[in-house]
Structure 1
Amino acid sequence: MIVVSTPTGSIGRQVLDTLVDTDTAVRVIVRDPARLDPRVRERAEVVQGSMTDVDVVTSAFTGADTVLWVVPPDPRAASIAGHVLDFVGPLCAGITTQGVRRVVGVSSLGRGIARNAGQISAIFAMDDLVESTGVHYRSLCMPGFMDNMLRQVHPIRHQGVFYSTLPAGVRVPTCATRDIAAVAAGLLLDDTWTGQQNVPVLGPEDLSDDELAEIMTEVLQRPVRAQQVPAEAYKASLVDHGLSDAWAQGLVDMSAAVQTGIYAVEPGTSRAATPTTFRQWCTDVLRPAVLAA
């Protein structure tokens, strides 16, 4: 039995696209079953409730061997650490009481070197707590998602610009959520791995914002440029759009940590597991979204 959290989220939904086509028993935890894909409702067992409810999580983990755990964001959370712990406490309790053998968690690059990195630091605390249970664990370590660019479809289409806090010329890795989901699904379906390990999930290239803009210009066939936003203005804009002060500050701190190189990985780390280039992602995902905006 495989349990999938956040089954309507970007990663969980795509993982389920793979799992429902196998013979493996699948169970999902979801607040609103009506939001599930019809294929999932037909194929998977549904446990309705919150991932922060220890009784719900314990019920979902009963008889389960492997779990995918994704902490969903809450931009209005008063505390980043408190938000993450609300989800991790029930997870660790369920692992311990129900004898779950394997957990695949969605984390970030930079573990062991990141300090004061906002949401990234909080998710590393999740990794540590999960590992303290002794469960076999694979921590998927990603950079930023290509799919985050979908939040800027409107300015890309109507202003020919996307906004970023990164200085021009700073190259960082980025990956597609469909590739993260593919790696996660492969681990969930593999019942042979043991121990605890970080798994870097990288796209095939590091790119600067100017290079991203050049690729978008070519794929979208319209001019697109990158506009750097100072950290103070970035935070103010986030708060104006309804984010809590804590969540906005966390995003600012996370961006600063990325600028100082927390996404750097050891030389020779394989990138073959994540094949989607930014150009291909723009063709497949961003271009249809911009045309439909």
Structure 2
Amino acid sequence: MTVAITTPTGNVGRHVLRLAVQAGIRPRVLLRHPSALPSEVRDRVDAVRVDQLDVDSVVAATTGVDALYWVDPPTSVPDPLDGYRKATESLAAAVRANGIRRVVFQSSQGAECRQGMGDIDGLAVTETALDELGIDVVHLRCGYFFTNLLFDLDSILEGTITTAMDPDRKLPWVAPEDIAAVAAARLLSSDWHGRHVQAVHGPEDLSFREVAALVGEVLDRSVTIRQVSDDDVREELAGFGMSPEQIVSIVDMTAGIRDGFVPENPRDFTTTTPTALAGWVRTRLKAVCEA
């Protein structure tokens, strides 16, 4: 079985890579810069330089692949949805050209809405295209990544977590390594067929207010919530030089989850993963804060 892994240095992909190697697989890894791979894994994988937005590049890189772990890559194009569409075109072309029979797609909660969820609408585009190919596919509808807290590191060090989300709305928070465990299990198994949706919710639903209290307790400092408006976010992102389309994709994503969204996939045994946020904060966030 030939297994291919995209974004093998990403928050989730690097753990998928490790699990595949530990399972005795020599995976083919697709990435822009093979030199970014850790030195200890370079002789255990077949690395291929790939631009996921380039159809020919992806088709050539996936020749002979049986199972593919696919993540739509982050792009700097002015319209994020255009980037998602280009990545999806590459993926669909590769599946058709190379007869890839199984794809594990890293999606997100909210993709089931198909429209009105900002950046997540791009993941819905990929889900829909994969469904039309008639292959074995699983969409991993992931919760809110623990690692998103690292984007707010400066604010946390000053004693606040900033969000445009309702601070008391509970969300599923999940560790990237737990997503990887589910992804690797699906990727390496040949016992499932057809279209599946697998939510990955982490161990518990938490509000931002609860997260702030937990982070403050572990870091032994006062951490409070600073709630900002959508207009505040728009102004800040415009100050970073983002395009109007990029700003809309971020603001609408938060608003879509915040304003009445009900997940298609309820929490159950299959969606609940073990890594608690407190442990992650203690081992990862605290180390970064103290560095």
TM-score calculated relative to the size of structure 1 = 0.94
Equivalent-residue separation in structure 1 for 2:261 and 2:73 (angstroms) = 22
Q: How does 1:1-293 map to 2 (within 5 A)?
A: 1-74=2-75, 76-113=76-113, 115-157=115-157, 159-262=158-261, 264-267=263-266, 269-270=268-269, 273-292=272-291
TM-superposition CA deviations, 1:216-239 (whole Å, max 9, x none):
111001111110011011121122
Distance apart, 1:268 and its partner CA: 5.5
Equivalent-residue separation in structure 2 for 1:142 and 1:83 (angstroms) = 20
Q: In structure 2, list runs of 5 or more residues that go unmatched.
A: none
Distance apart, 1:126 and its partner CA: 0.6
Equivalent-residue separation in structure 2 for 1:90 and 1:267 (angstroms) = 32
Equivalent-residue separation in structure 2 for 1:73 and 1:161 (angstroms) = 27
Distance apart, 1:265 and its partner CA: 4.6
Percent sequence identity is 32
Equivalent-residue separation in structure 2 for 1:146 and 1:70 (angstroms) = 18
Structure 1 SS opposite 2:274: coil
Q: Which amino acid aligns with 2:7?
A: T
Contact 2:112–2:264 (8 Å) recurs in 1: no
User: Higher mean Cα deviation, 7-16 or 107-116?
Assistant: 107-116
Contact 2:200–2:271 (8 Å) recurs in 1: no
Change (3 A) 1:89 1:267: closer
Equivalent-residue separation in structure 1 for 2:222 and 2:270 (angstroms) = 30
Equivalent-residue separation in structure 1 for 2:61 and 2:192 (angstroms) = 22
Equivalent-residue separation in structure 2 for 1:279 and 1:88 (angstroms) = 36
Distance apart, 1:84 and its partner CA: 0.2
Equivalent-residue separation in structure 2 for 1:216 and 1:33 (angstroms) = 35
Structure 1 SS opposite 2:104: strand
Equivalent-residue separation in structure 1 for 2:115 and 2:55 (angstroms) = 30
Q: Which amino acid aligns with 1:200?
A: A
Calculate the aligned-residue CA RMSD, in Å.
1.6
Q: In structure 1, list runs of 5 or more residues that go unmatched.
A: none
Distance apart, 1:55 and its partner CA: 2.1
Equivalent-residue separation in structure 2 for 1:23 and 1:190 (angstroms) = 13
Distance apart, 1:99 and its partner CA: 0.6
User: Higher mean Cα deviation, 204-213 or 265-274?
Assistant: 265-274
TM-score calculated relative to the size of structure 2 = 0.95
Equivalent-residue separation in structure 2 for 1:55 and 1:39 (angstroms) = 30
Contact 1:204–1:271 (8 Å) recurs in 2: no
Structure 1 SS opposite 2:108: coil
Q: Which amino acid aligns with 1:71?
A: D
